[in-house]
Amino acid sequence: MKVLLAAAEIFPLVKTGGLADVVGALPEALVVAGAEVRLVLPGFPTIVAGLEDASVVCELGAVFGAGRVTLRLGRLAHNGVAAYVVDAPYLYRRVGNPYQANDGSEWPDNLQRFALLGWVAAHLAAGELDPLWIPDILHAHDWHAAMACAYVACHPGMGVATVFTIHNLAYQGLFSLDDFHLLGLPSRFMVSHGLEFHGQLSFMKAGLKFADRITTVSPNYAREIATEEFGCGLDGVIRARGVQVSGILNGVDGAVWNPATDVHLGSHFSAQSLDGKAVCKAALQKELGLRVDASAPLFALVSRLTSQKGLDLVLQALPDAINGAAEGGIQLAVQGNGDPELESAFLAAASAHPGRVAVCMRYDEPLAHRMIAGADAMLVPSRFEPCGLTQLYALRYGTVPLVRRVGGLADTVVDATPDAIAADLATGFMFGPATSRALGQAMQQATQAYRNPMLWRQLALRGMAQNFSWEAAANQYLALYTTTVQSKAAQRLPSST
């Protein structure tokens, strides 16, 4: 099975969130599962720099507003996976993140930038750009790569089967319908059965309407997005795809996230010996200016600061949790960046509670590891969460997750109910309504459990014993690729009647 993965982010070269972690880990897992995998990535400066042994596949000339576009093939220096890089300096080589300038504004030419990615992926899949390697499956991730599915669909002759994975339905890649002509698609794609979405152009819809199969990153989110509450206006489109939509849970990259070997930690630990975790906690408290106190329950949050993540609930629940005299009060460490209002609210909370609340408003990968290792509990109070990775990392590090019962969080954490504790199944704490009251109660419950060291240890060890592996996910993707290729081939057979 030859698989071409198309995406805009890849850890460790370009990362704004969990998409990068997935694209960083999935290719190798697919290779182990028996697939032949290549990636197609936009030529952001760090991606171009991370490509080794590169050779030019072809010169594409001037397309999508770029003066010159060169398609290179090489190996990613960090994992040896083969990757095509779309080197279009005019579109991709700039300072900022993949989607936005440093001032937070969307790049004005995102339509051209990500249409080009999808267009190259589709033409690679058609065998037009590299006739030496033609994939059986084109697997596009999120709206950034979704146009590949429309470009494949617009040529009836293209045999490649397509899978589209939704990592987050809330980010849809919406553009002005006036720019439709820039895409080079026939006008029949400009309708509501195509890319049109409430008077705009939706790249997300290219994946939802035209991929042969759709996946998302947890079974529960796959069910949720078929409802009005979580469907972001696209639930009807998703329901119409019926059983062609499924959920495959993300895994954890054990080479990056392992408390016994993590290069970012001063001290290591494992389920067999947790001593190093206490050392990590003290080091984190010291680093962040929290009171160094082994007995204070330290809650951590590592997150993009957006409304998705339910962080306003944390701000509201905080005063009670800090002053909860009966439980001795908690400590809170927050790492995140994004929404300026949330940033200033957390900074204000830190100055109101010195030694008890610490905030780090920056993107910093090594610090994220120290936070997840050093904390006792990990907060993930999201309003919606397609999968969520920080609770999975927390489980591996014996850091007990406290999550909202939603999306992938509900699939991956077992709430510490009396029954679950008695059966030794519990791995964390959950709350239902998206209210600060419900979150506060769960924090109180967690704090009480923390005061019972036997129980806390039981929860931590049960969490560490979970196995959210990429191996399992890769096998599911491979099985899906196989059935998708088969049914596509069957569709192409001439009808016998």
Q: Which is nearer to ligand GLC, 18 or 463 (CB)?
A: 18
Q: Quick one: what does residue 381 bind among ligand ADP, ligand GLC, none, with the CB cut-off 5 to 8 Å set by partner type?
A: none
Q: Which member of 79, 244, 316, 337 binds ligand ADP (CB under 6 A)?
A: 337
Considering only residues 299-328, where is the footprint of ligand ADP by CB under 6 A? 302-304
Q: Which amino acid is at 62?
A: A
Nearest to 141 by CA among 234, 17, 307, 257: 17
364 binds, among ligand GLC, ligand ADP, none (CB under 5 to 8 A by kind): ligand ADP
- Tell me the closest approach of the beta carbon of residue 303 to ligand GLC, in angstroms: 10
Structure tokens at 299: 């809650």
Q: Of 262-321, which residues contact ligand GLC (CB under 6 A)?
A: none
For the CB of residue 401, give the shortest distance to ligand GLC in the complex, in Å: 13
Contacts of 296 (CB under 8 A, 6+ apart): 290, 328, 329, 330, 331
Question: Cβ closer to ligand GLC: 303 or 484?
Answer: 303
Residue 379 interacts with which of ligand ADP, ligand GLC, none, CB < 5 to 8 Å by class: none
Of 16-24, 40-48, 339-347, 410-418, the segment contacting ligand ADP by CB under 6 A is 16-24
Site for ligand GLC in 210-229 (CB under 6 A): 217
Contact with ligand ADP (CB under 6 A) among 2, 12, 17, 90: 17
- Does residue 251 interact with ligand GLC by CB under 6 A? no
- Candidate residues 1, 2, 12, 17; the one interacting with ligand GLC per rule CB under 6 A: 17
Q: Strand 357-360 and strand 331-338: pairing?
A: parallel
Interface positions, 362-391, toward ligand GLC (CB under 6 A): 385-389
What, of ligand GLC, ligand ADP, none, does residue 317 touch, CB below 5 to 8 Å by kind?
A: none
Which residue's CB is nearer to ligand GLC, number 17 or number 355? 17
The one among 167, 281, 353, 369 contacting ligand GLC by CB under 6 A: 167
Residue from 390, 399, 412, 484 binding ligand ADP (CB under 6 A): 390
State yes or no: residue 368 binds ligand ADP (CB under 6 A): yes
Q: Confirm if 171 and 145 have CB atoms less than 8 A apart.
A: no
- Residue 167 C-beta: closest distance to ligand GLC, Å: 3
Q: How far is the CB of 385 from ligand GLC (least distance, A)?
A: 5
- Residue in 361, 376, 313, 384 with CA at minimum distance from that of residue 166: 384
Per residue, what are the HEC states of the chain?
CEEEEECCCECCCECCCHHHHHHHHHHHHHHHHCCEEEEEEECCHHHHHCEEEEEEEEEEECCCCCCCEEEEEEEECCCCCEEEEEECHHHHCCCCCCCECCCCCECCCHHHHHHHHHHHHHHHHCCCCCCCCCCCEEEEEHHHHHHHHHHHHCCCCCCCEEEEEECCCCCCCEEEHHHHHHHCCCHHHHCCCCCEECCEEEHHHHHHHHCCEEEECCHHHHHHCCCCCCCCCCHHHHHHCHHHEEECCCCECCCCCCCCCCCCCCCCCCCCCCHHHHHHHHHHHHHHCCCCCCCCCEEEEEEEECHHHCHHHHHHHHHHHHHCHHHCCCEEEEEEEECHHHHHHHHHHHHHCCCCEEEECCCCHHHHHHHHHHCCEEEECCCCCCCCCHHHHHHHCCCEEEEECCHHHHHHCCECCHHHHHCCCCCEEEECCCCHHHHHHHHHHHHHHHCCHHHHHHHHHHHHCCCCEHHHHHHHHHHHHHHHHHHHHHHHCCCCC
Nearest distance from C-beta of residue 133 to ligand GLC, angstroms = 27
By CB under 6 A, is residue 9 in contact with ligand GLC?
no
Residue number with CB closer to ligand GLC (449 or 474): 474
Residues 400-459 binding ligand GLC (CB under 6 A) are: 408
Identity of the residue, 168 or 285, whose beta carbon is nearer to ligand ADP in the bound complex: 168
Contact of residue 335 among ligand GLC, ligand ADP, none (CB under 5-8 Å per partner type)? ligand ADP
Shortest-Cβ-distance residue relative to ligand ADP = 18
Stretch of 38-46, 79-87, 325-333, 385-393 lying at the interface with ligand ADP (CB under 6 A): 385-393
Is position 168 an interface residue for ligand GLC (rule: CB under 6 A)? yes
Residue selected from 5, 22, 237, 249 as contacting ligand GLC according to rule CB under 6 A = 22
Interface with ligand GLC by CB under 6 A: which residues?
17-19, 22, 167-168, 217, 250, 385-389, 408
Interface with ligand ADP by CB under 6 A: which residues?
17-19, 21, 302-304, 335-337, 363-365, 368, 387-390
